[in-house]
Amino acid sequence: MDKHLRSMEMINGDQRFPETLTELKEHCGRNKKVIDLMTKMADKCMTGFTKNIMQVAVYSIRRSRKTMCRNKPNKEMMAIIDAGRCVNSGGKRFGNCVQRAQIHIQTVKNLSSKERIPFICCFTS
């Protein structure tokens, strides 16, 4: 599972953001496999807050796939490709931001439900 999740992680992981339509289609194929694995893992292995976080992640990935994983190129797909070129040039700066967000989410996990939302909102502001 880790290998598959790592294949989707574009900032600190094994992949770069797609910069061509061909790369985007390859990413979409990998993306679908990982979504299926994440869903199975959440259903079989997780409970409570951890399961909720995984379900939110799966939902978000599925929603983004509807826009960027189409058969015919559209305006949104081309914008993703253009953004990919920019993000790939950002290198470690983007990776550092993602790592900080991951640590923040781990911290939130230990808070009471009432404290979680304000803490996340504070981090993203």
pLDDT digits (tens, 9 = 90+) for 47-80: 888 888 889 988 988 888 888 888 888 898 999 8
Calculate helix-pair angle for 21-45, 48-68, nearest 10 degrees: 160
Using alpha carbons only, give the angle 121, 42, 107 rounded to the nearest 5 degrees: 35
d(CA 46, CA 57): 14
**pLDDT reading at 31 higher than 70:** yes
If one compares 17 and 79, the residue with the highest pLDDT of the two is: 79
Whether this prediction's pTM lies above 0.85 is answered by: no
Q: What is the DSSP letter of 14?
A: S
Q: What is the DSSP string of 22-67?
A: HHHHHHHHHHHHHHHHHHHHHHHH--HHHHHHHHHHHHHHHHHHHH
| pLDDT, mean over the chain | 78
Q: Give every CB contact of residue 84 below 8 A, 6+ residues apart in sequence.
A: 16, 17, 18, 19, 23
Q: What is the pLDDT of residues 78-96, one digit of tens each?
A: 998 888 888 888 767 777 7
